[in-house]
A and B are shown apart, each in its own frame.
Chain A
C-alpha cells in the first residue's frame, strides 16, 4: 500500500498548496454562487416551476464549477514543470493519477458542501437529504475520475481552458442526466428504490471510468 500512501501524499500536497492562498477555492466558490443566482434571475417564476428546474440548475452549476476546479489540478503542476518533478519520483504514473484525482475530488466536494445549503436557502428546497448527498458524492467521483485525466490532457495543449470543457461535458453528459433525474426524484420525496436505476448508471460510470482513466493516464503524460 506504499502506492496509496504516496498518492495521498500527492493529494495532501495539493490541499496544502490550496490552503496557502485559497485563491482557487474562493474564486470557484464565488463563481458557483453567481451561477446559482443568475439562474434564479433567468427563471423568474413561482415556486412550483422552481421545484421542477432546481435539479437541472444544481447540476449545471456543479458541472461548470467542476470544470474550473479540474483545470486547477494540472495548472498547478505546470509551473516550474512540477509534473516532470513528479514523473522523476519513484512512483508509477497511475499513482500520480490517483493522487491528483483524490485532490480534485476533495476540492469539488468542499465546494459542493458549501454550495448545497446556499442553494437550499435560495430555492426553498430541502436539499440536505441523505439521498441528495449520496447522489452528489457519487456523481462528483465520476467528474473527478474523468476530469483528472482530461485536465492532464488539456494542460499540454494550446488552448487549455477551452479544451477541458469541450472534452469533459460530452463525456459526463450521461451522469449529469442521471444525477438530474435522481435529484428530481429525491426532492419530490421518492424512496431509494425509485432512485436505483439512475444511481446504478452513475455507479457504473464511476467504476468504468476510474479504471479506464487509471489505465490510460500514462499515455497522456508520457511522450
Chain B
C-alpha cells in the first residue's frame, strides 16, 4: 500500500514537472531552450547530497549498532546516489556545450560533484575488494562517514579556486522569476520522491537477496 502511494505520488509529480519544464515556464533569455536542463541539473545535485547524507547517517548507525539493515540502507542510498551523481555530471556537461562551447567547465559545483563521484566510486571499490562481506560493510561505512565530512571542505576549496574560472550564471540580475522558481521547486520535489521510490526498491531487493543467502547456507 505504502509503495503504491509513493509510486503514485512520484508519477504525478513527474508529469506535472515535465509539463512545467517544457510547456509552462517561459524560455530564458540569454541561454535559450538549453537552459531548461537547469531544472534537471539542480535536483540531481541536490539528490547527490541527500543520498550521501543518508549514507552518512546509516553508516554511523551501522557502526554503532552493527545491524545489517543500516548497512543495506547505506548501500542502497549509495547506489541511487551514484546514479544521480553521474547524471548530474552528464547534464552539467550537456548544458555547458551549447553555451560555452566546451564539454566541461571547471565550475566549482561541477568540480565538487566530480570529486564526490570519485568518493562514491571508492565506496563501491572498497566493498568489492574486501576479504568478506561483513568486513566490506564495515569499511564502506568508514568511507561513507569520512566522505560526507569532506563535502563542505570540497565545496569551500572549489569555490575559492574558482577565482580563475568564469562563474556560472544561473540567476539574472533581478533574481529568479516566479515561474522559474515554481518549476524548479516542483522539479526538486518530483525527483526527491523519485529518489525515495528507487531507494525503497533497492532496499527491498537487498533484503530479499540477504534472505536468499541465509537459506542457501542452511541448505548446504
Direct contact of A and B (CB under 8 A): yes
A residues sitting closer than 8 Å to B (CB atoms) are: 146, 149, 153, 156-159, 162-163, 166-167, 169-171, 173-175, 177-178, 181, 197-198, 201, 204-205, 208-209, 212-213, 216, 219-220, 223
Q: A157-B131, A181-B161 are in contact. Are A170 and B149 (CB under 8 A)?
A: no
In the assembled complex, 29 residue pairs joining A and B whose CB atoms fall closer than 8 Å, in A order, are A149-B142, A149-B146, A153-B139, A153-B142, A156-B139, A157-B131, A158-B129, A159-B129, A162-B129, A163-B125, A167-B126, A167-B143, A170-B118, A171-B119, A173-B115, A174-B154, A174-B156, A174-B157, A177-B161, A178-B160, A178-B161, A198-B160, A201-B156, A204-B153, A205-B153, A212-B149, A216-B142, A219-B141, A219-B142
Chain B, residue nearest A169 (CB): B118
Residues of B within 8 A of A159 (CB): 129
Interface centre among B149, B153, B160 (most CB of A within 10 A): B153
Chain B residues within 8 Å of chain A by Cβ, number:
30
Chain B, residue nearest A211 (CB): B149
CB pair A171–B150 under 8 Å, yes or no, is: yes
CB pair A220–B130 under 8 Å, yes or no, is: no
Mostly helix, strand, loop or mixed at chain A's interface? helix
CB pair B126–A174 under 8 Å, yes or no, is: no
Residues of A within 8 A of B156 (CB): 174, 201, 204
Chain B, residue nearest A213 (CB): B146
Mostly helix, strand, loop or mixed at chain B's interface? helix
B122 interface hit (Cβ, 8 Å): yes
Q: A157-B139, A219-B141 are in contact. Are A171 and B147 (CB under 8 A)?
A: yes
- In the complex, per-residue mask of B182-194: 1 if CB is within 8 Å of any chain A CB, else 0: 0000000000000
Query: Top 3 closest A-B pairs, CB basis?
Result: A174-B157, A170-B118, A157-B129
Total contacts A-B at CB 8 Å: 96
The answer, among B63, B134, B161, for a CB contact under 8 Å with A219, is: B63
Residues of A within 8 A of B201 (CB): none
- Compute how far the CA of A220 lies from the CA of B139 in the bound complex, rounded to whole angstroms: 6
Q: A149-B146, A174-B154, A181-B161 are in contact. Are A166 and B135 (CB under 8 A)?
A: no
CB pair B146–A201 under 8 Å, yes or no, is: no
B residues sitting closer than 8 Å to A (CB atoms) are: 63, 115, 118-119, 121-122, 125-126, 129-131, 134-135, 138-139, 141-143, 145-147, 149-150, 153-154, 156-158, 160-161
- Compute how far the CA of A177 lies from the CA of B131 in the bound complex, rounded to whole angstroms: 34
CB pair B160–A208 under 8 Å, yes or no, is: no
Residues of A within 8 A of B147 (CB): 170-171
Residues of B within 8 A of A174 (CB): 115, 150, 153-154, 156-158
Q: A157-B126, A157-B130, A157-B139 are in contact. Are A201 and B160 (CB under 8 A)?
A: yes
Nearest chain B CB to A208 CB, angstrom units:
6
Q: A157-B131, A158-B131 are in contact. Are A216 and B145 (CB under 8 A)?
A: yes
Residues of B within 8 A of A166 (CB): 118, 121-122, 125
Residues of A within 8 A of B145 (CB): 212, 216
Chain B, residue nearest A222 (CB): B138
CB pair A153–B126 under 8 Å, yes or no, is: yes
- Compute how far the CA of A131 lies from the CA of B139 in the bound complex, rounded to whole angstroms: 37
- Compute how far the CA of A28 lies from the CA of B199 in the bound complex, rounded to whole angstroms: 44
Nearest chain A CB to B125 CB, angstrom units:
5
